[in-house]
Amino acid sequence: MGFKEKFENAAEDALGKAKESTGKVTDNSQLEAEGKADQAKASIKDAVEGVKDKASELFNKASESEGK
């Protein structure tokens, strides 16, 4: 995962936490739910990027071993 993706996902997670907290403090259940959804979305993106990284790593290892 590149720095840009990590930064964007961390920012989305932080914004989600802020929304969730604000929703709790203001008793706004919709804002709280949006915050939780933003955090979940950031987590899913992190997981997908992790799978992409692992697949790329495995592909590169396989390519290197074929070239030997």
Domain boundaries, the chain: 3-66
Q: Look up the pTM and report it.
A: 0.79
User: What residue has token string 């030997």?
Assistant: 68
- What confidence score (pLDDT) does residue 7 get? 92
Over residues 33-61, the mean pLDDT reads: 94
- Count of alpha carbons within 13 angstroms of residue 50, beta-carbon side: 7
Q: What is the residue-averaged pLDDT of the chain?
A: 92
Q: Write out pLDDT tens, residues 22-34.
A: 999 999 999 999 9
More confident residue, 66 or 9: 9
Q: Distance (Å, rounded) from C-alpha 29 to C-alpha 7? A: 27
